[in-house]
């Protein structure tokens, strides 16, 4: 598990994925601080890592990245940590398009070709 401080390539992301789920890697973004945590068996573990480093739970959203995919297939906005009806998200999916856009922007900052 790590919080990225500098960008990594898709090739490095693919290596992380190979060590866990093969073609997919779990990630959590702090959409307010612009942080990205990667490489754990559970989104909840990445959520805890970010919380321990000063993030607020309402800013954390889980998703999966597929390093071999491009376009819409690269990011899957699905995680149990996203279920929070009190925040207007009663689903595992990230329903708010603004939050999705913020996640995509963070991913674009930290994951490069």
The helix/strand count (H/E) of the chain reads as 3, 7
Round to whole Å and give the CA distance between 23 and 16: 9
pLDDT in tens, 59-108: 999 999 999 999 989 999 999 999 999 999 999 999 999 999 999 999 99
Q: What is the mean predicted confidence (pLDDT) over 38-43? A: 96
- 49 contacts 42 by C-beta, under 8 angstroms: no
Q: Do residues 67 and 113 make contact, with C-beta atoms less than 8 angstroms apart?
A: no
The ranges assigned to domains in the chain are 2-112
* 113, pLDDT greater than 90: no
Q: What confidence tier does 7 reach under pLDDT thresholds 50, 70, 90?
A: very high
pLDDT at 111 over 90: yes
> Which helix (H) or strand (E) covers residue 10, if one does?
helix 10-18
């Amino acid at each position: 598990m790590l919080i990225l401080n500098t960008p990594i390539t898709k090739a490095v992301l693919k290596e992380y994925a190979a060590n866990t789920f093969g073609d997919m890697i779990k990630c959590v973004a702090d959409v307010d601080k612009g942080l990205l945590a990667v490489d754990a068996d559970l989104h909840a573990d990445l959520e805890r890592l970010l919380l321990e480093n000063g993030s607020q739970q309402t800013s954390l959203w889980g998703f999966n990245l597929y390093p071999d995919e491009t376009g819409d297939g690269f990011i899957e906005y699905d995680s149990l940590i996203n279920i929070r009806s009190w925040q207007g998200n009663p689903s595992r999916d990230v329903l708010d398009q603004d939050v999705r856009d913020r996640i995509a922007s963070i991913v674009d900052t930290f994951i490069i070709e």
